């Protein structure tokens, strides 16, 4: 990274430049955050909560402009961008509740008039590394609980969505939170690496690819003092057993695989169907996928899917689809690209049952692989044939089938007759394996934003040595 290097954000749906900026100075930004932390941590908890509630009011005042900006910079439909803004606002009250429930103050009396107390202290300067698919909601999910706990924040957004990050940070400032308590640091991968490694950064809260998350984990493996929370996506299975509600099952698969153009860490990448349900479900999924409207974010009627983030991502997905075909995959719906100059992709579905080895990668886009299996035993084995473990869902079956699925499938989110995505912020969010490092976010974010400190106290020293002394 070159300090002051120009950065550009391009609108995926049009190819037009929508934002220009320059790479920031990591050392200066961290130093300001250190100064901001000293003041912010001394603010009473009630004051910090009050300012974050003001933040909600600021976002509500600008919700229309915020949603339009998200839609333009990510390419997601306007209706979906509005749900992201709503999630930003909803995060505050959920985080206040979580802080009280998981990191609150407790005290009890002990002998000799003393007391034992448990309180939680902020870590200090927290680096939040955000993704491009939810450039407001996902970083905000780290920022809000970290601020409640008393930390200062440096948001390093994806270089593909800097405008949304700027807008989000300005909302915190407009609410009265100082500009050295929440800062936005722009830059590419080098800026992120420098921020992660900086000796005055006390925590790294990351959402993104497994490759980047593993690199962070390796970099900080010898520094246990720095808190690290990693959310790294998944190769998520949705398993289908027979159900009479075929249309509902198909809609659940479509929601799982193609919401946000498949650019969700919880998106279903693999549809695993038992033999006796394949001919009912798979044609219904294909028919519904072929009806999905794919268009620019502000089109009328509103599309179900917008473009993927950029042409490079579209190229990679197209290459992956062709690779699966070359290895024996049977296309059910081709991953079509109507305009080679824009990253609009019509959803692709491919049966990969006969592949001798299926790639265990996160294909981050509207590409669904279908696997036919004999029974639930084989379905569970196939679901677990991955190094990831974020989200999994079971369609159909009995309560006993779901209990077995829940027990045996390796994932941090396990649903029944619900999509793999759309997780609630009122529950923990995280995975195992290459999907995370056992520090779930959402309601459990409070756990990594402050650390517990146990204290034994009394107003005056009262002690005596009862034995082991010479006369």
**Co-location of 12 and 125 in the same domain:** yes
**What pLDDT was estimated at residue 2?**
56
397/20 Cα distance (integer angstroms): 52
**Co-location of 197 and 223 in the same domain:** yes
Query: Parallel, antiparallel, or unpaired for β 413-416 and 391-395?
Result: parallel
State pTM to two decimals: 0.96
Flag whether pLDDT at 376 surpasses 90: yes
- The answer to whether residue 73 is domain-embedded is yes
Flag whether pLDDT at 471 surpasses 90: no
Flag whether pLDDT at 439 surpasses 80: yes
- The answer to whether residue 465 is domain-embedded is no
**Co-location of 15 and 120 in the same domain:** yes
444: domain CATH number is 3.40.605.10
Residue 4 — very low, low, confident or very high, per pLDDT cuts 50/70/90?
Answer: low
Residue 1 — very low, low, confident or very high, per pLDDT cuts 50/70/90?
Answer: very low
Question: What is the DSSP code string of 190-216?
Answer: HHHHHHHH-TT--EEEEES-HHHHHHH
Residue 238's closest CA among 259, 211, 212, 208?
259
**Co-location of 96 and 143 in the same domain:** yes
370: domain CATH number is 3.40.309.10
Residue 236's closest CA among 255, 217, 212?
255
**Co-location of 224 and 241 in the same domain:** no
Mean per-residue pLDDT over the chain, rounded: 96
**What pLDDT was estimated at residue 224?**
94
**Co-location of 277 and 317 in the same domain:** yes
The model's pLDDT over 205-239, given as tens digits with 9 standing for 90+, comes to 999 999 999 999 999 999 999 999 999 999 999 99
- The answer to whether residue 427 is domain-embedded is no
Cβ-Cβ contacts under 8 Å for 447 (sequence gap 6 or more): 102, 103, 439
**Co-location of 143 and 36 in the same domain:** yes
21/32 Cα distance (integer angstroms): 20
**Co-location of 385 and 412 in the same domain:** yes
The model's pLDDT over 271-312, given as tens digits with 9 standing for 90+, comes to 999 999 999 999 999 999 999 999 999 999 999 999 999 999
- Percent of the chain at pLDDT > 70 equals 99
Residue 3 — very low, low, confident or very high, per pLDDT cuts 50/70/90?
Answer: low
The answer to whether 226 and 437 have CB atoms below 8 angstroms apart is: no
Question: What is the DSSP code string of 265-281?
Answer: TT-EEEEEEEHHHHHHH
Element (H, E) at 17: strand 17-22
The model's pLDDT over 137-153, given as tens digits with 9 standing for 90+, comes to 999 999 999 999 999 99
Say how many domains are in the chain: 2
The model's pLDDT over 25-45, given as tens digits with 9 standing for 90+, comes to 999 999 999 999 999 999 999
**Co-location of 125 and 53 in the same domain:** yes
- The answer to whether residue 217 is domain-embedded is yes
- The answer to whether residue 469 is domain-embedded is no
- The answer to whether residue 250 is domain-embedded is yes
Side-chain half-sphere exposure of 63, counting CA atoms within 13 A: 16
The model's pLDDT over 149-198, given as tens digits with 9 standing for 90+, comes to 999 999 999 999 999 999 999 999 999 999 999 999 999 999 999 999 99
- The answer to whether residue 1 is domain-embedded is no
**Co-location of 221 and 277 in the same domain:** no
The model's pLDDT over 380-434, given as tens digits with 9 standing for 90+, comes to 999 999 999 999 999 999 999 999 999 999 999 999 999 999 888 899 999 999 9
**Co-location of 57 and 73 in the same domain:** yes
The model's pLDDT over 100-134, given as tens digits with 9 standing for 90+, comes to 999 988 888 877 778 899 999 999 999 999 999 99
Domain membership of residue 331 as a residue range: 236-416
- The answer to whether residue 77 is domain-embedded is yes
**What pLDDT was estimated at residue 114?**
84
Annotated catalytic residues are 231, 265
**Co-location of 402 and 286 in the same domain:** yes
Flag whether pLDDT at 330 surpasses 60: yes
Question: What is the DSSP code string of 69-96?
Answer: HHHHHH---HHHHHHHHHHHHHHHHHHH
């Amino acid at each position: 990274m070159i300090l002051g290097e120009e950065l550009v954000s391009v609108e995926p749906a049009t190819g037009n430049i929508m934002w220009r900026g320059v790479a920031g100075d990591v050392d200066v930004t961290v130093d300001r955050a250190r100064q901001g932390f000293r003041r912010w941590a001394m603010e009473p908890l009630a004051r910090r909560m009050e300012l974050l509630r003001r933040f909600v009011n600021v976002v509500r005042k600008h919700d229309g402009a915020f949603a339009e900006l998200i839609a333009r910079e990510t390419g997601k439909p306007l209706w979906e961008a509005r749900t992201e803004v709503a999630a930003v606002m909803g995060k505050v009250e959920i985080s206040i509740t979580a802080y009280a429930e998981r990191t609150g103050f407790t005290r009890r009396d002990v002998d000799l008039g003393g007391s034992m107390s448990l309180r939680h202290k902020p870590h200090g300067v927290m680096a939040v590394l955000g993704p491009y698919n939810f450039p407001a909601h996902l970083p905000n999910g780290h920022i809000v609980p970290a601020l409640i706990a008393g930390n200062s924040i440096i948001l390093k957004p994806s270089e593909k969505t800097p405008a949304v990050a700027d807008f989000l940070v300005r909302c915190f400032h407009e609410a009265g939170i100082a500009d050295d308590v929440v800062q936005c640091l722009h830059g590419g991968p080098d800026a992120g690496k420098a921020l992660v490694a900086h000796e005055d950064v006390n925590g790294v809260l990351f959402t993104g690819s497994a490759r980047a998350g593993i690199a962070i984990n390796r970099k900080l493996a010898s520094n246990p003092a720095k808190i690290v929370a990693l959310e790294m996506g998944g190769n998520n299975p949705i398993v289908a057993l027979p159900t009479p509600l075929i249309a509902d099952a198909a809609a659940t698969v479509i929601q799982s695989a193609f919401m946000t153009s498949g650019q969700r860490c919880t998106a279903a990448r693999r549809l695993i169907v038992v033999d006796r349900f394949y001919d009912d479900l798979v044609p219904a999924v294909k028919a519904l996928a072929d009806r999905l409207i794919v268009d620019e974010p502000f089109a009328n009627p509103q599309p179900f899917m917008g473009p993927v983030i950029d042409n490079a991502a579209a190229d990679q997905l197209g290459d992956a689809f062709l690779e699966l075909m070359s290895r024996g995959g049977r296309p059910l719906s081709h991953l079509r690209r109507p305009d080679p100059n824009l990253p609009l992709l019509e959803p692709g579905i491919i049966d990969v049952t006969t592949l001798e080895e299926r790639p265990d990668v996160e294909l981050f886009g509207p590409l669904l692989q279908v696997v036919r299996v004999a029974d639930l035993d084989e379905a569970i084995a196939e679901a677990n044939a991955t190094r990831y473990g974020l989200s999994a869902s079971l369609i159909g079956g009995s309560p006993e089938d779901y209990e077995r699925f829940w027990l045996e499938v390796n994932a941090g989110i396990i649903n029944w007759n619900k999509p793999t995505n759309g997780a609630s912020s009122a529950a923990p969010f995280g995975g195992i394996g290459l999907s995370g490092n056992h520090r779930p976010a959402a309601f459990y974010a409070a756990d990594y934003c402050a650390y517990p400190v146990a204290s034994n106290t009394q107003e005056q020293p009262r002690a005596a040595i009862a034995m082991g002394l010479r006369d």
